[in-house]
Structure 1
Amino acid sequence: MELNKIELLIEKYFQGETNIVEENELRTYFSSLNVAQHLEQYKPFFGYFSLAADQKFAPEIPLQSIPKFREKDKKRNLAWLSIAASVVVLIGIGTYIYYNYEDANGKQDLGTYDDPEVAFRQTQKALALLSNHVNVGIESVHYVKEYQKSKELIFKQ
């Protein structure tokens, strides 16, 4: 009777329909010494699971394999980090100057004229404006000369 039950459990096991209690029955049966002759082929299969359950994984980590940073390595890394930071800063400054120089040169449009007569009239207008301002300045100089003459009359040196 027990042999029929074990055969049914094996079929259920390979179809994936067994529960934990039935799987434990199979493990205990195949770990015993009296296994039927025609079921001997399954003994290593179920015996493996019982052996695997007993095994514990204990990894050994050698402490000397962990790299230790020496002071020399830290200084070398700091030196490379400083060099890299300097390069980044120089590239940033160079880019800033390049784009600002392009903008400054592009905005220095002083005005050009294709027609020489228009250019001549604009030049005359600019020079007339300048002349008016210079004449105002010259009038102020005449007042200073008058002041100088009055001062000389009063304080006769």
Structure 2
Amino acid sequence: MVLNNIEKLIEKYNNAETTLKEEAQLRAYFTSEDVAPHLEHYKPMFLYFSKSQQEQYTKDVPLNTKKNTRFYQWISVAAVVVLMLGFIVPNLFGPTAEEIQQREEALLVYNQTMEAFNLISLGMNEGKSQLTNLTLVSDNISEGVEQASKLGEFNTMTNKILKNK
């Protein structure tokens, strides 16, 4: 009965379904001398677990409580100051009269360029519509030539039927 129970516990242990109490029963069974021969291969594993459970780390762990956070705090403060200066300084001094004049001239040149592009666009659109008309004429001429060649074939066939030639 005990061996049957141990085999069930081993199966549960392999499926990771055992409780701590059941694992303690398995450890106690495998550390004893009377282990079934077909379960001998589990014995070293459970002996290792029982020995490793008794091990303790005896060296002192130094705790480094001094942190270098002051340096990072000052970096963040410096970054905020630089950003604030970047936003405030240009607004304090403002644009000069020369800069305002340059902006106005640039805007004027931009508007003139856009007008020129609009005129070019209109001319291209007119040329495109004329090309479309020429394409239609070309298609109609091609179709007429094709029909004329069919008419020539019709005449030769008619002459053969009527034996004019």
Please give the TM-score of this superposition, normalised by the length of structure 1.
0.40
| Higher-Rg member (1/2) | 1
